Structure 1
Amino acid sequence: MAGMMDSVNQRTQLVGQNRLELLLFRLNGPQLYGINVFKVREVLQCPSLTVLPKSNPIVRGVASVRGRTIPVIDLALATGHHELKSLQDGFVIIAEYNMKEQGFLVGAVERIINLNWEEIHPPPKGTGRDHYLTAVTRFDDQLIEVIDVEKILAEVSPTSEEISPGILTEQVRINALNKKILIVDDSSVARKQVLRCLQAVGVEVIALNDGRSAYDYLQNMLSEGRKPSDELLMLVSDIEMPEMDGYTLTAEIRNDSRLKELHVLLHSSLSGVFNEAMVKKVGANDFLAKFRPDDLADRVVERIKLVDGL
């Protein structure tokens, strides 16, 4: 137990400091890509893969890793490149997304680098709508691209965005009509999922792409003499975002006496044993793993009932 707590303490030192660690890898060319170390469970030489009948073509098969069966997606194929030809020379990055383990087949794994989120930027304008990037950065004069894994997973296994019957009462629907929620997420797919879910509840949604934009939006409200906690039912924020991550955004909100009453829900595909310590450290009101529309709707309903005394 002491060892676990030491590990938690070490890794949470980055929380609220707008820093992250990226594991760098290559697909089947010289371009470098990065994945947040917090999502990585392990990296191993590509094991034997069992092909599943009628599976999505980008799923190269499933691997048995210490008794666990893990689907393996060819990241090169998933992002419009040629598939990795030599499986035995490849590596599998086992990561956790949305509380599920997922393997990503890559050509080579490089090293881990430590960066500031301010050095991570949205993809350049003009890249079009169909790209698979959430961010780009530079390190040692090399361009590093961060892949929108949530978009890939949504294409392989689409998630239902429907809210189950019984969650929304007629009274909640009526009261939701005069409520606003600010959401922030750098993944276009995740942003649209949250947007559609909240619109189904009936609230008005303001959607932004990164933590810096959200913080600036709140500051603009204050400069206009408006109190965000009076106008916004809650803030629903992703954690991994360019410019300013969700942890730092929350910490900045809590450190501003004019904003600290704003209800903050961190909503992320980052899941695991470290989140409880991180959420507590920055002062978020709640954490929810992506993407479960019923759970998200439940959180909004709870807030509406609390605010309106239902």
Structure 2
Amino acid sequence: MEAKGVLLESGTNELEIVEFNVANNKFGINVIKVREIINPIPVVTIPHSHKNIEGIIEIRGEILPVVNMAKVLGYPESEQPALDKYIVTEFNKQKIVFHVHGVDKIHRISWGDIEKPTNLYQSLESQIIGVVRKENDMILLLDFEKIVVDINPATGINNDRLKHVEKRDRSNFKIVVAEDSALLRKLLSDTLTEAGFQKVDFFENGKDALDYLEYSIKEEAELEKIVDLIITDIEMPIMDGLFLTKQVKEHPVLSKLPVVIFSSLITEDLRHKGQNVGANAQVSKPEIGELINIIDRLLNK
């Protein structure tokens, strides 16, 4: 836990991942999402629930859903269920349990060491957000937000979350967004357009966004003609959002730009990480309405 607190504290571009397995295949989840890892306990099945939901369990007075990762990934069930594990997680302001076949170890790595999925297996529907090479093995990092949204679309970004946002012309503002998930880029694009924004540039990771900004200010002397505000996720291969924010806030020209972190990792326990790198605001996914209101406040000072 002490090491976990150091990571990302000042934008190190590092993370720790918990390596787990499903049907002898290796996967990873960010340690920050993990509350605890427990042995299986009795599950209460729910009639007519989603096919990937095993049921619900009670942990210290809380009723939590259990997601069967073998079904999510299309693999056979565990051959030794007594050795299975439950990974209790918290992200997007909700707690969810993932049933896996085993938990191996924790790895400390750089976001720069995470390879982007190739076009052969990356698509809008892909559950893989990155690949980590370890000796002769590969660990696949999964898009847990997408797994949850596939089960319950209401938990994702959608236009219904804009009900309390004033619909008006925001087309004069220019926004740069760093978000690695193709699905979330599409959802963000749709909802930002619905809110009235028209000038939005999307990038798959923090490095691409930073490269664009640094190149643009060399070509165009006036920063205001390039971008008014940056929105960034935290978890991204190559360069994460905290490191991007730190680089922007330490830049002699870009530092005046407001940066909003829009991530599933925004909790009261973790909010200080964004504050330490100078973020102007932090919003938990999928609260797109709150994000628009904060953008309005930052751009209309």
Aligned mates of 2:4, 2:106 — CA distance in 1:
19
1:161 maps to 2:158: yes
- Measure, in 2, the Cα distance between the counterparts of 1:89 and 1:200: 48
Distance (Å, rounded) in 1 between the aligned partners of 2:265 and 2:298: 23
Match of 2:18 in 1: 23
What TM-score do you get using the length of structure 2 for normalisation? 0.91
Q: 1:273 aligns with which of 259, 268, 271?
A: 268
Alignment of 1:24-173 (within 5 A): 24-29=19-24, 31-84=25-78, 87-129=81-123, 130-159=125-154, 161-162=158-159, 163-169=161-167, 173=168
> Measured at CA, do residues 100 and 297 of structure 1 come closer, stay the same or move farther in structure 2, by a change above 3 Å?
same
Distance 2:194 2:8 in 1: 38
Letter paired with 2:150: E
Q: 1:61 to 1:9 in 2, by over 3 A?
A: closer
1:247 aligns with 2:242: yes
> Counterpart amino acid of 1:142?
D
**Structure 2 residue aligned with 1:3:** none
- The reply on whether 1:293 has 2:288 as its aligned counterpart is yes
Measured in 2, the distance between the counterparts of 1:25 and 1:148 equals 14
SS in 2 for 1:61: strand
Specify the SS of the correspondent of 2:55. strand
Kindly provide the amino acid, as one letter, of the partner of residue 218 in structure 1. L
Ranges in structure 1 where 5+ consecutive residues have no aligned partner: 1-5
Tell me the distance in 1 between the aligned counterparts of 2:129 and 2:48: 29
Identity %: 27
State the alpha-carbon separation in 2 of the partners of residues 302 and 258 from structure 1: 22
Q: How many residues align?
A: 296
Answer whether contact 2:266 2:282 (CA < 8 A) is retained: no
* 3-state SS, counterpart of residue 12 of structure 2: coil
Check conservation: 1:168, 1:301, Cα contact below 8 A.
no
Query: Which residue, out of 181, 187, 190, partners 1:193?
Result: 187
Tell me how far apart the structure 2 counterparts of residues 24 and 135 of structure 1 sit (CA, whole Å): 13
Between the aligned partners of 1:13 and 1:211, the Cα distance in structure 2 is 14
2:172 to 178, 188, 192: 178
In structure 2, runs of 5+ residues without a counterpart are none
Structure 1 length normalisation: TM-score?
0.89
Matched letter for residue 167 of structure 1: V
1:299 and 1:178 map into 2 onto residues whose CA distance is 17
Equivalent residue of 1:260, what SS? helix
Provide the aligned C-alpha RMSD in A.
2.0
Change (3 A) 1:240 1:128: closer
Matched, 1:212 2:207: yes
Cα distance in structure 2, aligned partners of 1:100 and 1:86 = 29
Tell me by how many angstroms 1:19 deviates: 0.7
